[in-house]
Amino acid sequence: MSSYFVRIRPQLNGTNAMHKEDCPFLPDAENRLYLGEFSSCEEAFTEAKFYFPEASGCFYCAKESSIIKNQLWLDYILLI
């Protein structure tokens, strides 16, 4: 199991990035919220979305969540 955090202040693109505890891009302590320990990135991403609906996964340490968000966005665009 890994510990996950989500960035409190949004990035320039408006998303709050989720990170694993050992990520080199993990924000400073005052700019992150501890989500808990999870056995998968997807579980942690669900928790991050509870706090920040615009959450995304870090492209370095949480690629699975980044792919999920991008696929959902693509599905939405195709429905329009």
CA count, 13 A, side-chain hemisphere, 29: 0
- Report pLDDT for 35: 98
What is the full DSSP assignment across 41-70? HHHHHHHHHHH-TTEEE-TTT-HHHHHHHH
Break the chain into its structural domains and give their ranges: 2-79
Q: How far apart are CA 5 and CA 22, in angstroms?
A: 10
Q: What is the pTM of this model?
A: 0.79
CB 58 within 8 A of CB 66: yes
Q: What pLDDT does 63 receive? A: 73
- pLDDT at position 80 is 44
User: Across residues 17-43, what is the average pLDDT?
Assistant: 95
Token look-up 């792919």 returns 67
Mean pLDDT, residues 10-16 taken together = 89
Question: What does the angle CA 32 – CA 69 – CA 71 come to, to the nearest 5 degrees?
Answer: 165
